[in-house]
Structure formats: structure tokens, C-alpha cells
Amino acid sequence: MHSMNRKKPSAGKGVSYAKWGYLFILPFFIAYICFTLIPQLMTFYNSLFENYRDGLTQVGPNFVGLKNYVKLFSPDNSGTIGMLKYFGNTIVLWLLGAVPQILVALLLAVFFTSYRLNLKGQQFFKTVIYMPNLIMAAAFSMLFFTLFSPVGPVNQVLLSAGWIDKSIDFLALKVPVRLLISLMNFLMWFGNTTILLMAGIQGIDQSMFEAAEIDGASSLQVFFRVTLPLLAPILVYTIITAMIGGLQMFDVPQILTNAKGTPDRTSMTMVMYLNNYLQTSKNYGMAGAVSVVLFIVSAGLSLFVYNSLSRQYSQAPRRRNRL
């Protein structure tokens, strides 16, 4: 394309459209440099300093090298490395929500796009499953907090049904809290994922499905041999964005556990941990170090997922040829 464009002006007639192309994408790059690249570099720079507020007194910034990182990864007196624990929490919370989210979304997307099922009232269903995403995460968390409190409706129902004889403090137990957080994230995001995947499936040439059917493929075969391989690019995109969103999980656990990550800090995510440093003492050094680690982890995991899934995708056509 470029070479073609460059040749044309030399012929003396055509106009260089490439120049306009660059001009049109310029605003994005300016915005990217100002609002993403520079802050990112500044975060790294800040993470090398001791810089916080003690009451109303500013301490630093004093250059301390990698001391903040060393502190981040040094175990406390019981041998736990906080950073790793909170990273583990984040991954567990994300997986508990994201795996069902993608599976359900995939299933719904296939149902909605299937010309054989030809569901009526699709617009209605699509709107409804997207609805939870329109509610503020904070409001959603407060709702669940109230529902599952020791004197909340859930306990009252269980008590009056006679299933339990003493109210359960759900929010003081590790498994229920984690499940609740995952459930909320699932409810909030599966609609969004469904719509993305539907767009992906609708982008696949209908004749593929028809051809498979004529060849006598069962629905399952169509799904695994036709839909899934052709959907792979969108699926990879969905998984990576969900993963980055999941690693940055904050609002739901923050509100549900009142910023404390209870019980025993097992629902404290990486960003909540970061926020602990930033909130009261404006500790830019430590918060910067956590951000940099978070960035490296996100980038690494994204690359890993992208590579492993794309490879599968590039193998897929070959497999189909063998059919």
C-alpha cells in the first residue's frame, strides 16, 4: 500500500493520501503519549523515590533506588510476602468470575446467533443481560453487602425456612466473600462479553455453517470445528481485555469489604493494596512500585495468552483442511 502510494506522486498525478492518514491518527498518538506513555514512565520514575506525607508534612522525594521493590517483596515477620498474597487473591477472584463469564457468554452468543433456534425478542434479552453493567459497581456491592449481612434478607429467608438455626456471617468467611465478588463481576460483565462474541459470530460467513450442515456436522461439531476457530481473534481479544480488567479489580471488593479485604485480607486485590499506600499517606514511591509490578505482570500474561491462543488459531485452518 505504502509503496504504491509513494509511486503515484512520482507519476505527477495522484495525491499522497498517506500524509492525511498519519494526520488523522495523530490525535490518538498525542493523547496516548500525554495520558498513557508519560504517566507510565513517571510511575516508574516515582517508584525509585521515598515520597510520602506524614500528617501534613511532606517527606521526600529522596532517591532510594530499588528499595521500594525490595520492601515490596520482603516477607513480613510471619514469612508472608504481601504482594504475592494479593496477586494470588486477584488471580483467584478473576478466574472464579471470568471462566464462567466467558463460557456463559459464548453459549448465549451461539444461541442468539443461531438461525436454527431463531430466538424471538433478542433485543429484549440483550438489553436485560447488559443491564447489570449499567449499575454502578459501588451500588451493586452495597446491595450485596446488605443482602448478605448477618441480619440481611438472605439470612432471614434461610432462618425462616429452617435451613440454618443461627444466622451466618457470610462476609466474615473467605469462600462466600470470594464467591460473592466473583458473582458480582460475572453478573456485571457477562452481558458485555456476550455482545462482543455475538458480533464476532455474526462476522463469520453464514455459508460456512450451511456448508458444515450439508456435510452432516452435528451442532457440537459446528461449534468446535467452525465457530470456535473462526471466532478465535475476537475470543483472544475478549480474554485479554477481561484479564487486564480482572488484574485491575478494585471497586467491587473495595466496597464489599469496606477497603479492608476481609476476611484475613483474602479478598485484597493488587489495586486495593496499591490504594492503601496512596490513600492516606500519598506514598507515591510504594504505590509506584506496585503499579510497575502490576504493569509487568499484565503485559507478561497478555503476551502469553495472545501467543498461546493465536498459535492455536493459526493451526486451526490446517486442521480444518484435514477434515
Partner 1 sequence: MKKLIALLLALVMVFALCACGATAPAEKPAEGTPAEGTPAEGTPAEGTPAEGTPAENTPAEAESGEGKVFNIYAWNEEFKGFFEKYYTVPEGVTVNWVITPSDNGAYQQKLDEALLNQANAADDDKVDMFLAEADYILKYVNADATQDITKLGVTDFSNTYAYTVQAASDPDGVVKGVSFQCCPSALIYRRSIAEDVLGTSDPAEVQALLDSWDKFNAVAADAKEKGYYMTASFAETYRVFSNNCTSPWVDADSNLQFDPQIEAWIAQTEDFVNNGYTLTAGVWDQEKNDQMFADGKTMCFFGPAWYFNFCMGNAQDPDKGCSGDWAICEGPAAHFWGGTWLLAPAGTDNPTMLADIMNTFINNEEVCSKLVSDEKQFSNNQKVNAKFAEDPNYGSAFLGGQNDVAVFSAMTDNIVWENHTIYDQLLNEGLQTYLQEYFKGTVDKETALKNFYNYVNETYPAIVTP
Interface positions with partner 1 (CB under 8 A): 52-57, 59, 76-78, 80, 82, 123-124, 127, 134, 149-152, 169, 172-174, 258-260, 262-265, 273, 276-277, 279-281, 283, 286
Nearer to partner 1, 215 or 264 (CB): 264
Q: Which is nearer to partner 1, 82 or 97 (CB)?
A: 82
Nearer to partner 1, 127 or 202 (CB): 127
What is the Cα–Cα distance from 298 to 288, expressed in whole angstroms?
15
Shortest separation between residue 99's beta carbon and partner 1, angstroms: 27
| Residue 248 Cβ vs partner 1, minimum distance, rounded to whole Å | 18
Q: What is the DSSP letter of 35?
A: I
Our CB check for partner 1 shows the closer of 60 and 100 to be: 60
CB of 107 to partner 1, least distance (A): 23
- What span, in angstroms and rounded, lies between the C-alpha atoms of 233 and 244? 17
222 touches 212 (CB < 8 A): yes
- What's the closest the beta carbon of residue 163 comes to partner 1, in angstroms? 20
CB of 260 to partner 1, least distance (A): 5
Residue closer to partner 1 by CB (options 179, 232) is 179
Q: Supply the Cα-derived Rg of the chain in whole angstroms.
A: 25
Least gap, CB of 123 to partner 1 (angstroms) = 4
CA distance 207 to 197: 19
CA distance 272 to 322: 50
* Whether 224 contacts 212, CB under 8 Å: no
Neighbours of 75 (CB within 10 A): 11
Nearer to partner 1, 189 or 273 (CB): 273
Q: Smallest distance, Å, CB 231 to partner 1? A: 26
What does the block give as the cell for 176? 462466600
Grouping H, G, I as helix, E, B as strand and the rest as coil, residue 53 is strand
User: Please, which residues bridge with residue 63 across strands?
Assistant: 49
Kindly give, in sequence order, each residue whose CB lies less than 8 Å from that of residue 63, ignoring residues fewer than 6 positions away: 48, 49
CA distance 318 to 323: 9
CB of 13 to partner 1, least distance (A): 46
Output 4 or 151, the one with its CB closest to partner 1: 151
Could you tell me how far CA 136 lies from the centroid of its own chain? 17
Residue with smaller CB distance to partner 1, 86 or 209: 86
Say what angle helices 284-322 and 82-113 make with each other, to 10 degrees: 40
Q: Are 141 and 256 in contact (CB under 8 A)?
A: yes
